[in-house]
Each structure stands twice: as structure tokens, then as C-alpha cells.
Amino acid sequence: METLCIDKMAEVIAASAAQLKEKTDSHNKLIAAAFGVEDIDNTTNDSGDQLREALYETIEVLEEIRETFKSKRLETLRKKLMRILMET
């Protein structure tokens, strides 16, 4: 029972972090457009950031299709990805 609560909290936190990142990215694009620049952050993402972003996106997709497919394997994969993100 306690593990289920921890898994649910991790799921909620990961979803919240993904939403926050999405909103921050959107905000940065608006600021960049207001100043007439292509990208407000002129630094390039390193491969770790790109990997983290891809993992968040994967988790989002798995969350969206969870009810449709009801696959234990997909659920296990989603939880594993969330744990990896939480550890890094």
C-alpha cells in the first residue's frame, strides 16, 4: 500500500514537472518573439538535457495512452522512466 502511494506521488510530481517545463518553454518562446530573437536562450542544450526532455515526453505519452491500452508492461515502463528521472 505504501509503495502505491509513493508511486502515485512520483507520478504526480513527474507530471507536474513536465507541465512546468512545457509552460516555461512556451513562456521563453513568447519572450523571444517579443524581442524578435529566434531563441531567448542562446546556449545549446547538452545531450543530457535533450535526453531528459525526451524522457518527460515519453512519460507524458505513456500517461495519455494508459487508459486506452491498460498494459501492465507500459505501466511498468512509465514508472521505471519516472524513477530514473527522479534519481538524476
Residues 35-60: tens digit of each pLDDT? 777 665 544 456 677 788 888 888 88
What is the rounded average pLDDT of the residues 5-25? 79
CA 80 vs CA 12, 37, 86: distances in Å: 14, 38, 10
Confidence bin at 79 (pLDDT 50/70/90)? confident
pTM above 0.85, yes or no: no
Give the residue from 65, 55, 53 showing the smallest Cα distance to 22.
53
- pLDDT at residue 69 greater than cutoff 50: yes
What is the rounded average pLDDT of the residues 68-87? 84
DSSP structure string for 43-83: SPPPHHHHHHHHHHHHHHHHHHHHHHH--HHHHHHHHHHHH
Amino acid at 26: S
